[in-house]
Amino acid sequence: MKHFELSGKVRQVGNKATIKAIRRQGLVPCNLYGQGLENVLFTVSDKDLQGITNTPSSYIIDIKLDNGQTYTAVVHELQFHPVKDNCLHVDFLAVSEDKPIAIKVPVVVSGHPVGVQKGGKFVLVSRFIKICALMKDLPDTLDIDVTPLDIEKRIVAGDIKLEGVSVVSPKDTIICTVKATRNMTAQAADESAEGAE
C-alpha cells in the first residue's frame, strides 16, 4: 500500500476556545493512539490533510512531528463540518509492520458484465471494503473482474479471496450487482402475454 507523508506540530490538550483558535489558523487538531502509545496530540494543515481526505485512495500515513518524533499510522476516524464539509478532527491509529492492520480499501471494477450486455444495469453498491493484513500484504485497491456478472447476480465481500488478506466487512456486504431494467421487465411481460395468446 502507498505511503503518504504528513507533517504535524505537537499541541497541548485544549478547551473549545483553544480548538477553535487552532481551526481559525487553517489547522486541524489530530489525535494518535494505539500500539501502547499514550495519546499524541498534534495539528496538521488543512491543505496538507486534503491529500488524504480528497481522494478515494487509502494510505499508510507517515507522521513527522516538529519534536522529531515519527509514527506510522492509518486514518481511524474523520470528523467533517456538517455544512462547510471541511475536516474538523482526525483520529489516527498507530500501526506497525509486524501486526495486522484493518483498513478500508477502494473497490476498482473491470470488465463488461454479461448481464449488461443483455440489457441490465450495473450498480456499484460498496466503493470501499474493510480488510485486514500485514502492512506488506495490503493492496492499494481491491480489483474485481465483473465480466461474469449476470442479471440479478451480485458479488459480495465474502467472494473476495486474496492471499494474506482477510475481509473484515460482513461477508454478505454487496459490492456490486446487475439489475434488470424497466424495459427488460416490460419486454418480458409482453413476451409472456404473447405466449399466453
pTM of the model: 0.80
Q: Report in angstroms the alpha-carbon separations of 35 from 93, 100, 120, 121, 194.
A: 8, 12, 48, 45, 68
pLDDT at 133 over 90: yes
Q: Where are the alpha helices (DSSP H) in the chain?
A: 16-24, 46-53, 114-117, 182-196
Q: Delineate the domains of the chain, giving CATH numbers in brackets.
A: 3-96 (2.40.240.10), 102-187 (2.170.120.20)
Residue 157, phi then psi, degrees to nearest 5: -55, -35
pLDDT at 194 over 90: no
Residue 190's pLDDT is 60
Residue 115 CA to its chain's centroid (Å) = 27
What pLDDT is attached to residue 187?
A: 62
Q: What's the CA gap between 175 and 169, in Å, rounded?
A: 11
What's the half-sphere exposure (Cβ side, CA atoms, 13 Å) at 145?
3
pLDDT beyond 80 at 180: yes
**182 φψ region: left (φ > 0), alpha (ψ -120 to 50), beta (else):** alpha
- What value does the mean pLDDT of the chain take? 90
Q: State whether residue 130 is helix, strand or coil.
A: strand
Task: Give the single-character DSSP code of 46.
Answer: H
What would the mean pLDDT of 165-183 be, rounded to a whole number? 92
Reported as a single tens digit per residue, the pLDDT across 50-94 is 999 888 899 999 999 999 999 999 999 998 888 888 889 999 999
**What percentage of the chain exceeds 70 in pLDDT?**
93
